[in-house]
Structures are given as C-alpha cells and as structure tokens.
Amino acid sequence: MKDSISSLFFWADFGLTSDDVSKLDDDTIVVTKWNWDYSLSHRFQRKALELVQGNPRLKILICCNHPEVLTNGRGLQKPKKGEAFHLIEFDPELVKNFNYPLHQIERGGGLTFHHPGQFIFYPVVKLNPKTLSLSLMINQIFDVTSQVLKGWGIEKLNHENQLLGLWHEEKKIASMGIAINKLTTFHGMALNILNNPKMMLSLQSLNPCGLNIKTYTSVESLTTLPADPIESFKTEFLKRIHHEWK
C-alpha cells in the first residue's frame, strides 16, 4: 500500500519526502513531518482525504507540528440543553497587526494556535457507524493520549468536561477540531507538549477556543519530559492507537 500511495503523490509538492512515510500495516500509513508549513500540510490532508474516500480500508495517520500559526474553524462550540458556559467570540480585527499568520479552515471549533512544541495528530480515516463513530474516535484519541501521559507521571486528565478537549483539572492541555467529508475525517488533535511563552504572551487578547489563554497548560509544565519528548510521544501514541483501530 505504501508503494501504491507513493505512485499517486509527488511528495515535494507538499514539502515531504518518501522518508517521511512509514507503514504500520497493509492498510495504515503514517506521515510524520515536524515544523511543517501549515498550508502544505492542509493541501496534503485534502489529497489524503480523496485517497481514503476511494480506498475505505486505508488509514492515513498524520503526525506533525507547525511553525507558529493560528487557525479558525467554523465556529465555537454551542452549549447543549442544560449546559451553561460562556465563550468569547473571535474578533478578526484583533489579528490585523498580529505576528502570526491566520488560516480560515473547515474543521469544527473556533480560533486555535499551533507551534513547534505541539504534537498534532490528523487522522484521515473512514468512519463507520457500527465500528468507529466520530464520538468513539475522539474518545479513543483522548484516552490514548491520557494513557501515554499517565505513563509520564501526569494524573487527573479527563475529557468529560462540558468543553471539548483534554483537560488537567481546570487547565486545557489538548484541543480537538475534526472535519468530515463523505464520512471521512481530517484535521484532529493538538497536544501542547513544550511551552512557548512568546506565543502565549501574544495570544492574551485572542482567547483561543473562546477561552482565556491562561486556561491552557502544557505537558512540560506538569511533569519531567523524556528525551526527545515529541518523537517519544508519537511512538507511544501510535502504538496504542493502532491497537485500537486494527
């Protein structure tokens, strides 16, 4: 399958080489690219989406991060019946003189931020109402993330908060924004592993996901990191998520 995919892509069009591609099994391809230009990664997701829609057994799992960038989705999470929370709407006027580029994209959710200290997981996968619904996919991604971080010494993680995300007590450590096209997912999770004080300072007026920037935390703020933490997290995460999605 990897060879057949390689014949369909001109990797350089997306800032990739064939060395960035590996195979977990005959139907599961992993693309890994650190500090990947956001525009190139988004174009690649769209191409991967077409390929998976034509080959429903195929899974393309993208592990990456990006230079400092903002993305804005279709809109903030709306409260369900009986829920009460207040999110601050994004004001586009605030980014006119901002230091980082902004991309308007098709995923769910509002404004969010990316930087090279994150681990980002974009699963391009065909959903199945009986075996892999959207809610099950999101829960499994968060559960696997929690399992890896628990092994690193972080307790009290949950994703049962009214607000979508992975939380450590009252602090948000990972965001989730999924898009679906013809029952196929793209976009995904951004986990804050390393601190980025400069970007956090810049974001004080923007309220990512409608939240005060002080709501966000990172793995680095909560535990001692292993060597090469982003690569280490990727290895452990993929092993577990592949087991769930075999």
Per-residue pLDDT reduced to its tens digit, 35-73: 999 999 999 999 999 999 999 999 999 999 999 999 999
For residue 103, what is the enclosing H or E element?
A: strand 102-104
Residue listed under structure tokens 């409260």: 79
Beta-bridge partner residues of 189 = 121, 176
Give the residue extent of every domain in the chain.
Answer: 2-74+90-244
Q: Which one from 209, 219, 238, 241 is the annotated catalytic residue? A: 209
Provide mean pLDDT across the span 177-183: 97
Tens of pLDDT, residue by residue over 191-220, are 999 999 999 999 999 999 999 999 999 999
Q: What percent of the chain has pLDDT over 70?
A: 96
**CATH numeric code, 2-74+90-244:** 3.30.930.10
Predicted TM-score of the model (pTM): 0.95
Q: What is the pLDDT of residue 8?
A: 60
Q: Does the annotation count 63 as an active-site position?
A: no
The neighbouring-strand residues paired with 118 are 192
Stretch 68-84: mean pLDDT: 88
d(CA 246, CA 45): 21
